[in-house]
Structure 1
């Protein structure tokens, strides 16, 4: 199986470098960075990374996370698609963990547990609640690094072109397409959006 990691970006110069550095080096790992019109150093960081990483490419797309992720999926070649926020770092061994989860042909996709990179007690509480809700309902957010079999993603028509909560809307459709897994391994993501904007 080939895994394609699709990373939508928009002015992510502060976070993107670390996210890319934490990705495992593998000849079966494709990395697609999809930029939605960054005006900071995001493009320079992405271009430098792609120049030194054989299976990485930078794609331009209209602004909007759903549009960017859909364009990234179109540009990718992997059997499995992992949608990763630019400020989220994957757990060590993520490709192997995902491949193992999908060894069961009934499983169409899934997500990881999430941990927020903050000392705030609210971060721990929100992360625990998100993981609990996802485990009991099958609903996932983009912070949890959603992954899906390519043919299922294409059959579902990708992410809905809506301005907010495209991840939750997609995960609802995904769980109706087959079994999904809620992995206990954690990805680590920034708490900045919650601190600046709240839940939305």
Structure 2
């Protein structure tokens, strides 16, 4: 039987973060979970392609835009399961065992990882905890938490929508809270934007954007405010 998971990572000038992300995938390779690695690139001009080639990835070059890249990456994927990851996310070493248990016991639903930030700032744990509560209570995890979804369920909901922002929110809304499990393995994501903008400021800005989206603001209008 072929390995079950196609891993899809959208990239754009990701040479600083991609090696850590790829290295964290090794437990899944050792466990026989990974069928293929697809890098969906949006026009990188740095060493992203070289890093991806060295890892044995299939590289798809296409139009820039995370939703477009996720859609393009999923299209040719051959796995029965799709694992979408951001290039600046590093999975904890125990991720493979938690994913294997999920595939064996709850194959009808999707899953995300528990969010953590790669930072020693005292705000990092507090903001991650708030995000994880949101994911549990509202069924609205961040894209930074990854998304593990069966090909059948992905096709059933129509996959990602080609929108300039909130594609991660839109797809988990389509899946529905009752069909998303939160694994205790961590997705440790970059804290660069929080460190640049300030932890409180960035957190409230993100909350403001998603609140506006849930109240009906268009992704196009919100994308103009996002940076």
Measured on the aligned residues, the alpha-carbon RMSD in Å equals: 1.8
Instruction: Compare relative contact order (CA 8 Å, sep 6+) and give the higher one, 1 or 2.
Output: 1
Show the counterpart of 1:53.
Answer: none
**More helix by percentage:** 2
User: What TM-score, normalized by structure 1, do the two folds share?
Assistant: 0.89
Q: State whether residues 112 and 145 of structure 1, in contact with CA within 8 Å, keep that contact through their aligned partners in structure 2.
A: yes
Show the counterpart of 2:219.
Answer: none
Gap regions ≥5 residues in structure 2: 207-225
Does residue 190 (structure 1) correspond to residue 196 (structure 2)? The answer is no
Q: Which moved more, 1:188-197 or 1:115-124?
A: 188-197
Show the counterpart of 2:170.
Answer: 169
Structure 2 CA distance for aligned equivalents of residues 18 and 154 of structure 1:
30
Question: How far does the alpha carbon of each residue in 1:106-141 deviate from its partner, in whole angstroms, 9 at most, with x for none?
Answer: 632011101100111222111110001101111111
Q: State whether residues 15 and 86 of structure 1, in contact with CA within 8 Å, keep that contact through their aligned partners in structure 2.
A: yes
Deviation at 1:105, TM superposition (A): 5.0
Structure 1 CA distance for aligned equivalents of residues 188 and 144 of structure 2:
8
**More strand by percentage:** 1
Structure 2 CA distance for aligned equivalents of residues 69 and 196 of structure 1:
26
Aligned pairs (5 A) from 1:123-134:
123-134=124-135
Structure 2 CA distance for aligned equivalents of residues 154 and 31 of structure 1:
19
User: What TM-score, normalized by structure 2, do the two folds share?
Assistant: 0.79
Deviation at 1:95, TM superposition (A): 3.4
Say which one has the larger Rg.
2
Gap regions ≥5 residues in structure 1: 51-55
